[in-house]
Amino acid sequence: MFSKLFPIVLITCLLSACATSPTGRSQFIFMPETQIDQMGLQAFDTLKKDKKVSYNGQYNQTTTCIANAITQVVGGSWEVVVFEDNSPNAFALPGNKIGVHTGMLQLVDNQEQLAAVIGHEIGHVLAKHSNERASQEMAMSQGLNVLQALTMPTSALGQLGFGMLGVGAQYGVLMPFSRTQESEADIIGVDLMAKAGFDPKNSITLWQKMEQATQGKQPVEFMSTHPAHATRIQNLEQHMPQAMALYQQAQAMGKQPHCI
């Protein structure tokens, strides 16, 4: 009886969890958004306790100015913190939290490149990628648990086969979704920076600099949760006409940020 009912229950859950991202992509999301936001708030509070916060006036002024210009496009109240960390990294968390490492500020050449970074990270939040990722992992974990309960592999070969199924789920389902999310955040982010009045062409220059910074240390695309830099650049170049149209509209409206 269970084996007959399980597919019906699974299909019902999948249908109820359908959502659409800002780019029109179908998403699998079923975690309560309030819970995801609370997780983001808790994570950000922990980071502020565990990591050294930068009080460099220039870094904070520049980062806040750029973040404010972009968040005015999306709305809401956002907290921005610069962390003392030499790694070229930045992030945004559910609950409208933005963190930028000093290493990223040292890497970029101008306000536009940092706007591309911040826009990308905000894109993750707007597309609810944290919820999507958590929903995927929870569904995959529960799905594998159910499959294990149904098949009950007891032999050494059976245990090995089930272990390989878990690896296949990781590299064949979860990681490709993560690369899709990264590429989607690139597109959302470049549109956001353009709407805020930052020249989107600098997003391509940013990823060229990131490629130089990694010095060939990035793992192959299949085994990575991030797209290859060449893939990102190609996708941005294809989308650039639309982003430039948004930028020209913003310029016509008088949006010309001067954060540096």
Looking at residue 165, its pLDDT comes to 41
SS3 of residue 2 by DSSP: helix
Question: How confident is the model over 30-45, as pLDDT tens digits?
Answer: 788 888 898 889 989 9
Return d(Cα 233, Cα 224) in angstroms, integer: 17
- pLDDT at 9 > cutoff 60: no
* Residue 255 structure tokens: 């949006």
| Percent of the chain clearing pLDDT 90 (strictly above) | 52
* Residue 137 structure tokens: 């992992």
Question: How confident is the model over 44-90, as pLDDT tens digits?
Answer: 999 999 999 999 999 999 999 999 999 999 999 999 999 999 999 99
Q: Which of 79, 84, 121, 237 is catalytic?
A: 121
Looking at residue 143, its pLDDT comes to 58
Looking at residue 72, its pLDDT comes to 97
Looking at residue 125, its pLDDT comes to 93
**Pairwise pLDDT comparison (215 vs 24), residue with the higher score:** 24
Looking at residue 31, its pLDDT comes to 81
Looking at residue 141, its pLDDT comes to 67
Q: For 224, how many CA atoms within 13 A lie in the half-sphere containing its CB?
A: 12
| Percent of the chain clearing pLDDT 70 (strictly above) | 75
Looking at residue 174, its pLDDT comes to 41
Phi, psi torsion values for 27, nearest 5 degrees: -125, 155
Phi, psi torsion values for 100, nearest 5 degrees: -130, 130
The average pLDDT across 10-29 equals 73
**Pairwise pLDDT comparison (231 vs 17), residue with the higher score:** 231
SS3 of residue 218 by DSSP: coil
Instruction: Say if CB 65 and CB 34 are below 8 A apart.
Output: no
Instruction: Say if CB 243 and CB 194 are below 8 A apart.
Output: yes
The average pLDDT across 104-129 equals 95
Question: How confident is the model over 143-196, as pLDDT tens digits?
Answer: 545 445 545 555 444 444 444 444 444 434 344 447 888 899 999 999 999 999
Looking at residue 132, its pLDDT comes to 87
Distances (CA, A) of 131 to 94, 106, 185, 224: 9, 31, 14, 20
Return d(Cα 76, Cα 73) in angstroms, integer: 9
The average pLDDT across 245-250 equals 98
Give yes or no: 121 in active site: yes
Looking at residue 218, its pLDDT comes to 59
